[in-house]
Structure 1
């Protein structure tokens, strides 16, 4: 399914003279105030529900969302979309990808954590944070320090990088991230099948995928007779 069947970013940018970010915000908000309004929800059913009918009950659906953080922190369109899926009895989780290059600088890493936290608070979903593009990380010894870093270590590094007048702000940011237990990431290296499988297992756990499957029972006595 493709949302561009409803509206095109290129057309919006050309006709309204908007840039990529402004155009994308318009694209997401323009069809959905009508689509998601309580008394016109049948408009959403007409498009999305028709598309979902092409899938089986136990199919695994991945929605590839735009990367602009504004869509997850400033406007309710994606939250409304998630709530619609939940009303359709879908188990949903958010998978937030943070570029591994953010671990090269503690200030960038904290900003990435805060962006992920804002998405988590807005969407109110089970959340899996992923450090993507791990194959591009050259200093492998830094990886473990950022997968589950100690808040006080982050605070110390922030204070070293920032001017003294920012120390109270730094502590407030670290305390907020630590309070929400956000400082935890799963590394993803697309070159390694084991890495992909591990990430998938984390997502499966969040959405309880496969938990209602029938248990496979093996008749050991029959196997022994055959031997």
Structure 2
């Protein structure tokens, strides 16, 4: 950053573009060393510009797809900041911009639920009614924004962006549920051979369950 005279966002974009230019070198070699059933998680930087304004990550995704990887996006929205309807709509719009840019099936997660003190403030937004969202937006905004509010509420409803999966790291069941949603998106394990013993009614493990 100092050498090139770049700020934090510019430096990050420069690094990601450098990564993109070298995808066919180190990354392809690493991918070829993986097993067929390996499960990869790419933890991406959080700057929204990388997903909504520049094509770097889209090209990265397409590179993986050319290598026959099933890919999905997992968008994490910090639940601690979803305390009112305006912040929720803003989070939905950011999530939608990522989905449109990457053109991937996407799982939207309300992260850090374990740090939320009053979960009632958050649970309302896990599956809210669009018309109620619109009413609340109109109450919070000036009258001249009513048409814009309706367009935003309709967009959220049309793309089913009002559906978020809560993630509480303290609960194993929460982690498993999130993982099952991701597995479903990428169809993980569907090509695996069926194991007969898994369906054996005499299996003592089944009786234990």
Q: Do both share a fold (TM > 0.5)?
A: yes
Partner of 1:138: 117
Structure 1 vs Structure 2 CA RMSD: 1.7
Q: After TM superposition, give the deviation of residue 182 of structure 1 in Å.
A: 1.1
Alignment of 1:142-161 (within 5 A): 142-161=121-140
- Cα offset for 1:31? 4.8
Question: Does the 8 A contact of 2:16 with 2:56 survive in 1?
Answer: yes
Could you list the per-position Cα deviations for residues 168-220 of structure 1 after superposition, in whole angstroms to 9, with x for gaps in the alignment? 11111111111111111000000111100000000000000011111121355
Deviation at 1:30? 4.1
Q: Which has the higher contact order (CA 8 A, sep 6+)?
A: 2
**Cα deviation, residue 54, structure 1:** 3.1
Q: Distance in 2 between matches of 1:198 and 1:131?
A: 13
2:6 is aligned with 1:18 = yes
Matched, 1:28 2:28: no
What is residue 207 of structure 2 aligned with on the other side? none
Structure 1: stretches of 5+ with no match in the other structure: 1-12, 36-42
Shift of residue 143 of structure 1?
Answer: 3.1
Q: 2:145 aligns with which of 166, 169, 172?
A: 166
> Paired residue for 1:108?
87
2:118, 2:139 → 1: CA distance?
A: 21
Aligned length: 202
Return the TM-score normalized by structure 1.
0.84
Q: The residue matched to 1:96 in structure 2 has which SS?
A: strand
> Would you say the 8 A contact 1:79–1:122 is kept in 2?
yes
Q: Give the drift of 1:139.
A: 1.9
Distance 1:108 1:221 in 2: 53
Give the deviation of 1:109 after TM superposition.
0.9
Residue 174 (structure 2) aligned to one of 173, 195, 201: 195
The structure-2 alpha-carbon separation of the partners of 1:16 and 1:221, relative to structure 1 and needing over 3 Å to count, comes to closer
